[in-house]
Amino acid sequence: MQTIKVISLIGLIAMAGIILYAFVVGDFFSEGKALLAMPWGIVSMVDLYVGFTVFSCWIAYRENSCLLYTSPSPRDRTRSRMPSSA
């Protein structure tokens, strides 16, 4: 699990860096206009946002169904093992 967190953090830093680079070096509005003027640019944008939407809905569906059908853990009935601060 720790490896996944590290890989996710590296991906997050890389994406933030490349987005910052694109905003500083590129011209967002003129390049975006050029991208959307091309048929494959439109296809790419639609594909991207449909993928985001489907993935988000899948996560929401799985999270809700996991929460609805999870039985309580036996640990939920026991007292906490954490020492008191007093």
Residue-wise pLDDT tens for the chain (86 aa)? Answer: 799 899 999 999 999 999 999 999 999 889 889 989 999 999 999 999 999 999 999 888 887 766 555 566 666 565 555 565 55
Domain for residue 55, yes or no? yes
Domain for residue 45, yes or no? yes
Assess contact for 35 and 45: CB atoms under 8 A: yes
- The structure's pTM equals 0.51
Assess contact for 65 and 57: CB atoms under 8 A: no
Q: CA 4 from chain center: how many Å?
A: 13
Domain for residue 30, yes or no? yes
Show the domain range for 29: 2-67
Euclidean distance between CA atoms 26 and 5, whole angstroms: 31
pLDDT of residue 1: 76
| Residue 18 neighbours by CB under 8 Å, 6+ apart | none
Count of domains for the chain: 1
